[in-house]
């Protein structure tokens, strides 16, 4: 949000007029100094605002916009004797990773952004991270969880998602120790960096619990007909089906599973069920679908950031958008809040100083405790596991925010 300054040139006459003119000029000088102290800080945000990943991109945009609005309405970010309004500069990369990389470079070289938020997902975030590293631009990734994003030795990339295993390990533990007769797992994964990586983590987590992974199948990006794969899956009758992809993928997969009569005792999908849009689009088919995410509005923290308590953030989001935030929206807001804290701790917007402040953070935010490992990936969160029950995503783990017990054997 930019404040616009307007200038009026009055006509004066006589001594009184000259005195009035001097007074007004003095006031104008003060206003000019005040305006000079109020500068604009640009943050670049390449997003998939159109194309297959647009639902996720629009969620991130809402999270960023809420942070920027909250900051600017509070007077901006104060650093020394300067105060900065926040301006988010968006570029739509149309859900195409090569364009995400190009967009990141354009934001730095042409739009003059001081900081970056990564593109959506692990694949695009990893691809674009080389750009921010080359230009030494501190970058916060709100939706990249795969460790391969952070194992490149880069110094300017920081992520708000814990590693994939922090989702799959508790899921496997809950199911394996449920007391139910659940022995076999079928995994069905989108062939894309994050969906495939978390499927591989699920395979490892399931095997560690003594479960038998009877199939691991991949589907290509853009697949619209899963009939052949599901016909084979139905023949094996797995106790647990674990499917990965993005929201449009998983809505389609859920409907086609039902059409072909696949009825496991447990159906877990990552990451679509965290979104209300999945529940609305799937209707009764969403019931008892389990999942996990990096944040849930049921968590409760007293944050040191601009939003304060988790409940305050949720209320602000609901007031702005008329809906409850999900993890993708909250993580985008958290990316801004974390960047803001780092800037204020650094006392400057100089990139190296802000990068060092990010690396040294040890704070609590509305999103949760924030500490980054040496690779730049957050290592201080315990992601919630949840299940859709009675049309609502209810937390089943961890215990301190648990809302319901996991249900089994009612997937139709």
Reported as a single tens digit per residue, the pLDDT across 53-88 is 999 999 999 999 999 999 999 999 999 889 999 999
229: CB partners within 8 A, 6+ apart = 188, 217, 219
C-alpha separations of 112 from 42, 45, 143, 168 in Å? 7, 12, 23, 40
CA–CA distance, 380 with 367 (Å, rounded to integer): 11
Asked if residue 130 and residue 48 are part of one domain, the reply reads: yes
Asked if residue 61 and residue 154 are part of one domain, the reply reads: yes
Asked if residue 301 and residue 394 are part of one domain, the reply reads: no
Nearest CA to 367 among 303, 278, 319?
303
336: enclosing H helix or E strand: helix 327-346
For residue 372 the two structure tokens come to 């980054």
Asked if residue 50 and residue 139 are part of one domain, the reply reads: yes
Asked if residue 99 and residue 199 are part of one domain, the reply reads: no
Asked if residue 214 and residue 94 are part of one domain, the reply reads: no
Could you say which residues of the chain have pLDDT below 50? 1-36
C-alpha separations of 334 from 68, 141, 316, 357 in Å? 11, 10, 13, 16
> What's the chain's Rg over C-alpha atoms?
24
Nearest CA to 224 among 249, 203, 260, 199?
249
Asked if residue 303 and residue 229 are part of one domain, the reply reads: no
The region, left, alpha or beta by phi > 0 then psi within -120 to 50, assigned to residue 276 is alpha
CA–CA distance, 305 with 333 (Å, rounded to integer): 11
**Is 272 a member of any domain?**
yes
Q: How many domains does the chain have?
A: 2
**Is 412 a member of any domain?**
no
Asked if residue 58 and residue 190 are part of one domain, the reply reads: no
pTM of the predicted protein model: 0.85
Asked if residue 362 and residue 394 are part of one domain, the reply reads: no
**Is 278 a member of any domain?**
yes
Asked if residue 218 and residue 82 are part of one domain, the reply reads: no
**Is 20 a member of any domain?**
no
**Is 2 a member of any domain?**
no
Tokens 């080389």 identify what position? 130
Average pLDDT in the chain: 91
**Is 5 a member of any domain?**
no
**Is 14 a member of any domain?**
no
Nearest CA to 294 among 402, 381, 213, 185?
381
Instruction: Look up the domain containing 210 and give its range.
Output: 165-293+385-401
Question: Which CATH number do you get for residue 75?
Answer: 3.40.50.2300
Nearest CA to 295 among 116, 125, 166?
166
Strand-pairing partners, residue 186, are 215, 241
Asked if residue 57 and residue 158 are part of one domain, the reply reads: yes
Asked if residue 253 and residue 125 are part of one domain, the reply reads: no
**Is 8 a member of any domain?**
no
Predicted confidence at residue 37, as pLDDT, reads 55
CA–CA distance, 190 with 371 (Å, rounded to integer): 30
């Amino acid at each position: 949000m930019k404040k616009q300054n307007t200038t009026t040139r009055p006509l004066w006459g006589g001594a009184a007029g000259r005195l009035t003119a001097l007074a007004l000029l003095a006031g104008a000088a003060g206003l000019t100094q005040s305006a000079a102290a109020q500068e604009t800080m640009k943050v670049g945000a390449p997003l998939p605002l159109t194309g297959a990943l647009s639902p996720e991109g629009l969620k991130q945009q809402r999270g960023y916009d809420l942070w920027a609005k909250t900051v600017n309405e509070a007077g901006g970010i104060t650093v020394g004797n300067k105060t900065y309004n926040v301006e988010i500069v968006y570029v739509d990369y149309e859900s195409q990773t090569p364009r995400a990389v190009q967009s990141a470079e354009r934001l730095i070289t042409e739009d003059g952004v001081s900081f970056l938020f990564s593109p959506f997902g692990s694949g695009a975030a990893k691809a674009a991270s080389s750009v921010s590293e080359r230009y030494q631009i501190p970058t916060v990734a709100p939706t990249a969880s795969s460790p391969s994003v952070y194992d490149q030795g880069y110094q300017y990339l920081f992520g708000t998602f814990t590693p994939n295993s922090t989702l799959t390990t508790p899921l496997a533990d809950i199911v394996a120790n449920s007391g139910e007769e659940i022995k076999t797992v079928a995994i069905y994964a989108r062939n894309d960096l994050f969906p495939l990586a978390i499927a591989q983590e699920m395979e490892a987590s399931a095997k560690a619990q003594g479960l038998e992974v009877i199939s691991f199948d991949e589907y290509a990006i853009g697949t619209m007909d899963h009939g052949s794969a599901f016909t084979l899956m139905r023949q094996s009758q797995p106790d647990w089906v674990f499917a990965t992809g993005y929201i449009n993928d998983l809505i389609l997969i859920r409907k086609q599973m039902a059409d072909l009569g696949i009825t496991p005792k447990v159906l877990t999908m990552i990451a679509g069920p965290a979104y209300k849009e999945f529940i609305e689009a799937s209707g009764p088919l969403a019931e008892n679908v389990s999942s996990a995410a990096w944040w849930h509005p049921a968590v409760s923290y007293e944050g040191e950031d601009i939003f304060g308590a988790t409940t305050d953030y949720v209320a602000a989001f609901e007031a702005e958008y008329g809906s409850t935030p999900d993890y993708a929206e909250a993580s985008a807001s958290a990316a801004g809040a974390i960047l803001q804290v780092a800037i204020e701790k650094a006392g400057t917007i100089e990139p190296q100083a802000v990068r060092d402040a990010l690396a040294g953070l040890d704070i609590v935010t509305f999103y949760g405790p924030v500490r980054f490992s040496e690779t730049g990936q957050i290592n201080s969160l315990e992601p919630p596991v949840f299940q859709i029950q009675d049309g609502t995503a209810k937390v089943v783990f961890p215990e301190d925010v648990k809302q319901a017990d996991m249900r089994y054997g009612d997937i139709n």
